[in-house]
A and B are shown apart, each in its own frame.
Chain A
Amino acid sequence: MQFLRTLRQTTISARIGMAMVLITLLAAILAPVIAPYEEAEVVADVWLPPGDGHLLGTDQLGRDLFTRMVYGARNTIAIALLITCLAFLVGVVGGLLAATMRGWVDMLLSRIVDVVMAFPALILSLMVLSIMGASIPVLIIVISLLDATKVYRLARALAMDIEVMEFVEAARLSGEGTWWIITKEILPNALPALIAEFGLRFCFIFLFISALSFLGLGIQPPAADWGSMVRDNAGAISFDMMTPLWPAGAIAFLTIGINLVVDWFLHRSAQIRAR
């Protein structure tokens, strides 16, 4: 019921955002149920306009676009979510440790992060992916490590702000160990900002994967993913066909949805702190 109470207070834009995110998630989860065909099944001619059995028409190989969109949602979101979680796991643990332990731990981790961040992420991932092959595991490891650097910086900054608060010093004074201080004192207070950042980083990674797919190094065919669907069907645009509009629109649809929810969430947690 606490959830309902907060739901009532949400602004309209937040509700629209939540609706957008929910629709996409439902489509991803129910993919096998609502998809009329198999993920990679060729069913008709190439680039048929929407209509007669194909809600959104067909793609560059004659596969039903709606099926591809729905499976695409599943693959792209699943992988992007996995990468974001991994990036956060590495980034937050590193950041919090660096902030509380200080000393050589902080120095070492921060130098590593500086070196990795000295190099443009897209170029680095292009190089690694084209060397190691663009398989899903490599994709996940490379992007999550690259993104962990940004999460590390945020987590470290947050932890540093919280760590100077008296209640942390009080905990130290009563002899609490580092582990307790990190998990019970610092992390709960850093959580709202981290959750908001999680949403934003998810969007960034989402777009990053579609850029890689565009350059041919993202999720490999025949798996459906929105990024490569835009690339493969891009040729249709100049022939006045809407085909690539759907996947690109879907990418924007989910990103906008998440941004709206995160903006509201940030606004609300800022309010709580201000009161």
Chain B
Amino acid sequence: MDSLKKMVVKRLAAGAVTVLVVSILIFVGVEALPGDPATAILGQQATPENLAALRKELKLDMPPHVRYFSWVSDVARGDLGRSLTNQRPVAEMIGWRFSNTLFLALAAATVAVPLAILLGMLAALYRESWLDKLLSISSLSAISFPEFFVGYILIAIFAVKLGILPGVASIHSGMGFGQKLLAIVLPTITLMLVVLAHMMRMTRAAIIGILTSPYIEMAKLKGVGRRRIIYHHAIPNALAPIINVVIMDLAWLVVGVVVVEVVFVYPGLGQLLVDAVSKRDLPVVQASGLIFACTYILLNLTADVLSILTNPKLRTAN
């Protein structure tokens, strides 16, 4: 097992370096913007001396590298700094919105993942049957429609026409958990459709790939039934590729929420990031950018660790 630990430590170190590089890239990117936070905040009628005053106030007049290192040291101490535009602590602004993004992504995942694997297995078990064809056509069309369009269609049917579900998912802390769940039903379905289709197709392909391997034929020759071949012989070996696809789609979910946020007015991290960029609110852009990067890296790491744990060859490698 210690080879696994060594691998995890190595990956975490590589991840940390990547995050650092990402933070530098964002800093340089936002620095290179035409105009600067002061003009973005004061807008159209700002007079030159107004701008100068604001820049001094926001410590924008210090040389860039000094500002970057002070920022990094702050982050190291856990202080993400304050938003340039309204002086609110960045951690508080991001924390709430990121939890919303995760809440929606998790809701979509908890429904999509088991359903996708089940449908994938069925499609593989009854390959070339009407069920298999039906599932592949519907999944193909699900991933072919742009998700914001799917969102609008769902709103038109369930919110406007039938009126049984809220068309707008602007949840807030005051809401009870039940209310929140009801509010995010439609966005969850929108997100889920695309991810479900992709995962199902991958699961089906993985299982079919395994069904052609020699040990499956051996199982048949040992008189093992079709169902048992799938869940006892095929699935354990299909876990690694399936996990990889699931994790990759979870990462997409966290990002895919941006579009859904706009359609359903959902207070997620994507909208905050886009607003912050247009307002050149550097600390907010830095922090949310890093959060996205860290989520990505952690998800990839979990995928690798899980695929090692599920594959006996690697697990008992040392």
A/B contact in complex, CB under 8 angstroms: yes
Distance of A4 from chain B, by nearest CB (Å): 27
A76 to B274, CA, bound (A): 24
The number of chain B residues with a CB under 8 A from chain A is 45
Q: Which of A118, A207, A238, A256 has the most CB of B within 10 A?
A: A118
Distance of A219 from chain B, by nearest CB (Å): 14
- Establish whether residues B277 and A211, one from each chain, have CB atoms under 8 Å apart when the complex forms: no
Near A by CB (< 8 A), chain B positions 246-267 give 251-252, 254-256, 258-259, 262
Q: Which B residue's beta carbon lies closest to that of A241? A: B156
Near A by CB (< 8 A), chain B positions 193-228 give none
Distance of A230 from chain B, by nearest CB (Å): 5
What are the nearest 7 A-B pairs in CB distance?
A: A255-B144, A120-B255, A248-B149, A252-B144, A237-B156, A238-B160, A210-B146
- Establish whether residues B259 and A214, one from each chain, have CB atoms under 8 Å apart when the complex forms: yes
Distance of B67 from chain A, by nearest CB (Å): 18
Q: Which B residue's beta carbon lies closest to that of A122? A: B255
Please, could you name 11 A-B residue pairs with CB atoms under 8 Å apart, sorted by A? A120-B254, A127-B273, A127-B285, A127-B289, A131-B29, A131-B30, A131-B32, A214-B259, A227-B146, A230-B146, A240-B156
Contact string against A for B residues 260-284, beta-carbon threshold 8 Å, 1 for contact and 0 otherwise: 0010000000100110011000000
Is residue B148 within 8 Å, beta carbon to beta carbon, of the partner chain? yes
Which of these binds chain A: B14-22, B115-123, B173-181, B304-312?
B14-22
For B296, list chain A residues within 8 Å (CB).
117-120
Is residue A215 within 8 Å, beta carbon to beta carbon, of the partner chain? yes
Q: Besides A130-B277, A244-B152, 17 other CB < 8 A contacts?
A: A118-B296, A119-B289, A119-B293, A122-B256, A126-B274, A127-B26, A130-B274, A131-B30, A131-B32, A211-B147, A214-B259, A227-B146, A230-B146, A240-B156, A251-B144, A255-B143, A259-B144
Interface residues of B (CB under 8 A from A): 14-15, 18-19, 21-22, 25-26, 29-30, 32-33, 140-141, 143-149, 152-153, 155-156, 160, 251-252, 254-256, 258-259, 262, 270, 273-274, 277-278, 285, 289, 292-293, 296-297
Is residue A114 within 8 Å, beta carbon to beta carbon, of the partner chain? yes
Is residue A115 within 8 Å, beta carbon to beta carbon, of the partner chain? yes
- Establish whether residues A123 and B292, one from each chain, have CB atoms under 8 Å apart when the complex forms: yes
- Establish whether residues B145 and A248, one from each chain, have CB atoms under 8 Å apart when the complex forms: yes
- Establish whether residues A126 and B293, one from each chain, have CB atoms under 8 Å apart when the complex forms: no
The number of chain A residues with a CB under 8 A from chain B is 35
- Establish whether residues A238 and B258, one from each chain, have CB atoms under 8 Å apart when the complex forms: no
- Establish whether residues B146 and A248, one from each chain, have CB atoms under 8 Å apart when the complex forms: yes
- Establish whether residues B29 and A127, one from each chain, have CB atoms under 8 Å apart when the complex forms: yes
Cβ contact of A207, chosen from B146, B156, B285, cutoff 8 A: B146
Q: Which B residue's beta carbon lies closest to that of A131? A: B33
Contact string against B for A residues 174-210, beta-carbon threshold 8 Å, 1 for contact and 0 otherwise: 0000000000000000000000000000010001001
Q: Which B residue's beta carbon lies closest to that of A120? A: B255
A98 to B153, CA, bound (A): 45
For A121, list chain B residues within 8 Å (CB).
255
Number of contacts between A and B (CB, 8 Å)?
A: 107
Is residue A30 within 8 Å, beta carbon to beta carbon, of the partner chain? no
Q: Which A residue's beta carbon lies closest to that of B294? A: A118
- Establish whether residues B258 and A215, one from each chain, have CB atoms under 8 Å apart when the complex forms: yes
For A117, list chain B residues within 8 Å (CB).
296
Is residue A15 within 8 Å, beta carbon to beta carbon, of the partner chain? no
Cβ contact of A215, chosen from B32, B251, B262, cutoff 8 A: B262
A210 to B25, CA, bound (A): 26
For B252, list chain A residues within 8 Å (CB).
120
- Establish whether residues B255 and A123, one from each chain, have CB atoms under 8 Å apart when the complex forms: yes
Cβ contact of A238, chosen from B32, B148, B155, B289, cutoff 8 A: B155
For A18, list chain B residues within 8 Å (CB).
none
For A127, list chain B residues within 8 Å (CB).
26, 29, 273, 277, 285, 289
- Establish whether residues B22 and A237, one from each chain, have CB atoms under 8 Å apart when the complex forms: no
Distance of B70 from chain A, by nearest CB (Å): 23
A228 to B140, CA, bound (A): 23
- Establish whether residues A256 and B141, one from each chain, have CB atoms under 8 Å apart when the complex forms: yes
Q: Which A residue's beta carbon lies closest to that of B25? A: A115
Known: A119-B296, A256-B141. A237 touches B152 (CB 8 A): yes
Contact string against B for A residues 238-257, beta-carbon threshold 8 Å, 1 for contact and 0 otherwise: 10100010001001100110
Known: A118-B19, A119-B292, A123-B292. A244 touches B146 (CB 8 A): no
A115 to B293, CA, bound (A): 9
Is residue A231 within 8 Å, beta carbon to beta carbon, of the partner chain? yes
For B156, list chain A residues within 8 Å (CB).
237-238, 240
